[in-house]
Structure 1
Amino acid sequence: MSGLRAGGPARAGRACQYTALVLNLLFLAFPFLWLVSTAFKPARELGSLHPTWIPREPTLANFRQAFDEQPLLQAAANSLLAAVGAALIAVVVATPLAYVMARRRGRLARAATGWVVVSQAFPFVLVIIPLFLVLKNLQLVDTLAGLVLVYVVWSLPFALWMLAGYVRAVPAELEEAAAVDGAGRLRVLFSVTAPLLAPGIVATALFAFITAWNEFFFALVLLKTPEKQTLPVVLTHFLGAEGAADLGPLAAAAFLATLPSLVVFALIQKRITGGMLAGAVKS
């Protein structure tokens, strides 16, 4: 009887947890579902006083109009170049630094950890003017190379913090055993530690990619040539001078811009889950 009495509160607690999870998923999914619905609605349904979730007459006209009005393919190519470049460079720079942060306990590790914490507290507005002046002196304003450099610097703190956690999860005994066998520090890093860090490296790169892909403020300030603008900036061109939005094409373009992030998040989930399971098996 006591077991039955104890099982009641436990089941009620699980029910509350599942209910909260479902409500949270609905809250997060609502904007995306409404965006998809709007993207496929004809103009007369968008102005209806009684909107519906499912379009009565689905159409692809909004997508055709979006591509006709704005250079979405060129903007997507610019965003892809900036995001991939920033993710690759950030991971290459952050991996050895994260290793030092995780394995060393000296002043350098403490200073790096402090920099990671402090850098996340600065809003974009405080750094954009000095950043613009630095890039102007380097002749990198209005260039994708300058934008990639900004994205790398901005994503490094999070990449360091994330990779350092993965490095700490790798047993130091494995590195010590390789060192006893005669392997040098670089050989240990690339032959022993790096393969075990593969899930963390992939997850960090994908997070850096998503951050750069969705970034708007830096791209708006630093890129002035229309042919070099990224996708988030081009999406604002669907807004009129007085704030009136061309809702159908805007929703269609925003839906297409969201798809890469959804795919990347799916890949992140698989990689992170795989890394956690691998770590559980090793332990």
Structure 2
Amino acid sequence: MSRPTGHRAAARGRPQRTAGRVAQYAALLAYLLFLAFPFLWLLSTAFKPPRELARVHPTWIPDAPTLENFRSAFDEQPLLPAAANSLFAAAVSAVLAMVLATPTAYVLARHRSRFSHAATGWVVISQAFPLVLVIIPLFLILKNLQLVDSRGGLILVYVVWSLPFALWMLTGYVRAVPPELEEAAAVDGAGRLRTLVSVTAPLLVPGIVATALFAFITAWNEFFFALVLLKSPGKQTLPVVLTHFLGSEGVADLGPLAAAALLATLPGLVLFAAVQRRITGGMLAGAVKG
């Protein structure tokens, strides 16, 4: 008698599990559409001629797609030099942040102490500070160091700003590496440095790649520091140059602005697509022990 009862219970539970799975997929699809909506709207706007942009009821798909907005964007503003400035600042700051954060995160993860707990607390608290609280003292410090209106000063700010988040991420990845692997290497006669290079470092590569990508994208998209610290037109980054498409009365040249913003978005998407396998592996590894 118990077996048929069990079968009936399983039969009743199967539709419930199916309904729950359908609801999860529906929620995931809705979330993806929510995230994709700004990009799709930007893509549509970039290819619309001015007469379609002036419509009261715009359409998703342009009636007469055009590349005129892209030509106007490059003619009106120095997008390529600005993109080169953003690329240089983002790449250098991401590399320097990883160089500083990786050994520090290892020490914080492997050697628990009051200092490590205090450092972890500083990492969390520093992320809560709004930019407006630090921009004035930061500007004065850089002015005394003669680093205002310089790429070096901007890179230094990006490194300091991204370092707490990089430490927080990498500490989780280091904790996900079993200490027994290092102990086994030590038993086999490997020194401390060789253990770190041959055993620990390869396992941290996915986490380092993921963290470096986040640091790069953060610096690539950063606007406020670049606006305040850089005054020379030839040194301005891409997010700052995008504001030049706004007129003196705040009226946007919508078509060229959308085209330029689309081009500014593509590098991050391409880079993410190129290293997504390592990012996925790094996130899964970091989630084992946080």
Q: Is TM more than 0.5 here?
A: yes
Q: Which segment is superposed worse, 222-231 or 270-279?
A: 270-279
Change (3 A) 1:277 1:226: closer
* Structure 1 contact 43–248 (Cα < 8 Å) conserved: yes
What is the identity, as a one-letter code, of the residue corresponding to 1:144? R
* Structure 2 contact 207–285 (Cα < 8 Å) conserved: no
Work out the CA distance in 1 between the residues paired with 2:211 and 2:49.
Answer: 40
C-alpha displacement of 1:278: 8.0
Alignment-derived partner of residue 176 in structure 2: 169
Change (3 A) 1:125 1:268: farther
C-alpha displacement of 1:277: 7.3
Alignment pair present for 1:15 and 2:22: yes
Work out the CA distance in 1 between the residues paired with 2:285 and 2:218.
Answer: 27
| CA deviation map 1:251-272 (0-9, x unaligned) | 0000000001112222453213
Alignment pair present for 1:68 and 2:75: yes
Work out the CA distance in 2 between the residues paired with 1:99 and 1:150.
Answer: 23
Alignment-derived partner of residue 132 in structure 2: 125
Q: Which segment is superposed worse, 107-116 or 215-224?
A: 107-116
Work out the CA distance in 1 between the residues paired with 2:93 and 2:286.
Answer: 28
Alignment pair present for 1:228 and 2:249: no
Alignment-derived partner of residue 241 in structure 1: 248
Work out the CA distance in 1 between the residues paired with 2:75 and 2:266.
Answer: 20
C-alpha displacement of 1:161: 0.8
Alignment-derived partner of residue 161 in structure 2: 154
Alignment-derived partner of residue 5 in structure 1: 12
Work out the CA distance in 1 between the residues paired with 2:286 and 2:145.
Answer: 44
C-alpha displacement of 1:109: 1.0
Query: Aligned Cα RMSD in Å?
Result: 1.6
Alignment-derived partner of residue 102 in structure 2: 95
| CA deviation map 1:190-241 (0-9, x unaligned) | 2211111011111111110000000000000000000000000000000011
Alignment-derived partner of residue 54 in structure 1: 61
Q: Which segment is superposed worse, 186-195 or 263-272?
A: 263-272
Alignment pair present for 1:183 and 2:203: no
C-alpha displacement of 1:182: 3.0
Instruction: Please point out which of 143, 147, 150 is paired with 1:140.
Output: 147
| CA deviation map 1:50-109 (0-9, x unaligned) | 311111111000000000000000000000000000100000100000001110111221
C-alpha displacement of 1:127: 0.4
* Structure 2 contact 48–65 (Cα < 8 Å) conserved: yes
Q: Which runs of 4+ in 1 moved over 3 A?
A: 274-280
Work out the CA distance in 2 between the residues paired with 1:57 and 1:64.
Answer: 16
Work out the CA distance in 1 between the residues paired with 2:69 and 2:51.
Answer: 12
Change (3 A) 1:169 1:125: same
Work out the CA distance in 2 between the residues paired with 1:279 and 1:69.
Answer: 45
Change (3 A) 1:276 1:229: closer
Work out the CA distance in 1 between the residues paired with 2:60 and 2:121.
Answer: 48
What is the identity, as a one-letter code, of the residue corresponding to 1:225? S
Sequence identity percentage: 77
Instruction: Please point out which of 193, 205, 208 is paired with 2:215.
Output: 208
Superposed, 1:108-123 pairs within 5 Å as 108-123=115-130
C-alpha displacement of 1:10: 1.1
Alignment-derived partner of residue 4 in structure 2: none
Scaled by the length of structure 1, the TM-score of the pair is 0.95
Scaled by the length of structure 2, the TM-score of the pair is 0.93
* Structure 1 contact 42–62 (Cα < 8 Å) conserved: yes
Note the residue ranges of structure 2 that are not aligned, 5 or more in a row. 1-7
